[in-house]
Amino acid sequence: MSSSATTAEEAPQEASGLLGRLLAGIERVGNKVPHPALLFLGLCIGTILLSAVLAWIGVGATYEVAVPPDQTVEAVDVAGSVAPAEVMPSEQPDASE
């Protein structure tokens, strides 16, 4: 092989147009991004440190649950008579039955 052929293959192609410049910019940024394993490790360490700092200054979460009030519904049989019934049974059935 001649030396001119290898330099032509190794020389980067010039970006032509807006799309070419955009792709070249994305490639430059992508080449600077660390390995995914290092990103994951860094995010884990950052989460641990942030959690420790927030706990140290007293930030917390509440665990309140909104419980709706008991409601009654009307059960209608085929004949058309109406009788009130509870939405949930008041007691759990025994496992022995």
Residue 83 confidence (pLDDT): 56
Which residues lie across from 85 on neighbouring strands? Answer: 73
What is residue 80's DSSP assignment? -
Residue 79 confidence (pLDDT): 62
Tell me if residue 85 falls in helix, strand or coil. strand
Question: Locate tokens 């360490």: which residue?
Answer: 45
Residues 6+ apart with CB under 8 A from 14: 20
Tell me if residue 24 falls in helix, strand or coil. helix
Per the model's pLDDT, the better-predicted residue between 43 and 88 turns out to be: 43
Question: Locate tokens 């070419």: which residue?
Answer: 20
Give me the mean pLDDT over the 82-97 stretch. Answer: 58
Residue 11 confidence (pLDDT): 44
Question: What would the pLDDT profile of 17-68 be if each residue is shown by its tens digit?
Answer: 899 999 999 999 999 999 999 999 999 999 999 999 999 999 988 888 888 8
